[in-house]
A and B are shown apart, each in its own frame.
Chain A
Amino acid sequence: MGIVLYNHDLLADAYKVKLLLSVLGMDFERRTVGILPGNGNDAPAYRDLNPAGTVPTLVDGDVVLTRPEAMLVHIAECHDTSGRWLPAEPLARAQVFEWLAFATGDLAAAEAARLQAMFGVVPALADAFADTRAAFRLAEGHLARRALGGLTFIAANHPTIADLAIFPAVALAADVGIGMEEFPRLLIWARQIHALPGFITMPGVREVI
Chain B
Amino acid sequence: MTLTKDKAALNDWYVVGISTDVTRSAPRRTRLLGQDIRVTRAADGAICVTLTGGEEDGRAARAEEHYGFIWATFGAPNRCIFPLAEAFEPDRRVVTCGTVDVAASGLRLVENFLDMAHFPFVHTDILGALDKPEVEQYQAEIRADVDEVWATNCRFWQPLAAAASKGGQMSHYVYRVVTPFNVLLYKTCPEAPDRFDAIALFIQPVEADRSIAYPLMVVVDSTSTDEDIVMFQQKIFLQDRIILENQRPRTLPLDPRAEIPTRADLSSVAYRRWLKTKALRYGSYEYAEA
Contacts and interface: CB of A to CB of B under 8 A. Distances in A.
Interface of A: 8-10, 32, 34, 36-38, 40, 117-120, 174-175, 177, 203-204, 207
A177 B241 CA distance: 11
B227 A204 contact: no
B230 interface: yes
29 contacts: A9-B231, A9-B234, A10-B231, A10-B234, A32-B231, A34-B227, A34-B230, A36-B98, A36-B234, A37-B18, A37-B21, A37-B98, A37-B99, A38-B227, A40-B227, A117-B103, A118-B238, A118-B241, A119-B100, A174-B242, A174-B245, A175-B238, A175-B241, A175-B242, A177-B103, A177-B245, A203-B239, A204-B238, A204-B239
Contacts of A204: 238-239, 242
Contacts of B56: none
A204 B241 CA distance: 9
Nearest to A9: B231
B228 A37 contact: no
A9 B98 CA distance: 15
B227 to A, nearest CB: 5
B228 A32 contact: yes
Given A36-B98, A203-B238, 6 more contacts: A9-B235, A10-B234, A118-B241, A175-B241, A203-B235, A204-B238
B230 A118 contact: no
Which secondary structure dominates where chain A touches chain B? Answer: loop
Given A36-B98, A37-B18, A120-B99, A10 B242 contact: no
Interface string B208-246: 000010000000000001111011001100110110011
A120 B246 CA distance: 19
B239 A117 contact: no
Contacts of A8: 231
Which secondary structure dominates where chain B touches chain A? Answer: helix
A32 B242 contact: no
A185 B98 CA distance: 36
B286 interface: no
Contacts of B235: 9-10, 203
The 4 closest A-B pairs by CB, nearest first: A37-B98, A203-B238, A203-B235, A34-B227
B101 interface: yes
A78 B242 CA distance: 37
A38 B229 CA distance: 13
Nearest to A116: B101
B96 interface: yes
Query: Which of the listed residues A10, A118, A177 has the most CB atoms from chain B within 10 Å of its own CB?
Result: A118
Contacts of B165: none
Nearest to A37: B98
Contacts of B97: 37
A138 B37 CA distance: 41
Contacts of B246: 174
B96 to A, nearest CB: 7
Given A9-B231, A118-B101, A119-B101, A37 B96 contact: yes
Interface in B21-74: 21
A10 B245 CA distance: 18
B152 interface: no
B242 A119 contact: no
B28 to A, nearest CB: 11
B4 interface: no
A36 B230 CA distance: 9
Nearest to B30: A120
Contacts of A119: 98-101
Query: Which of the listed residues A9, A38, A120, A203 has the most CB atoms from chain B within 10 Å of its own CB?
Result: A203
A37 B99 CA distance: 7
A116 to B, nearest CB: 8
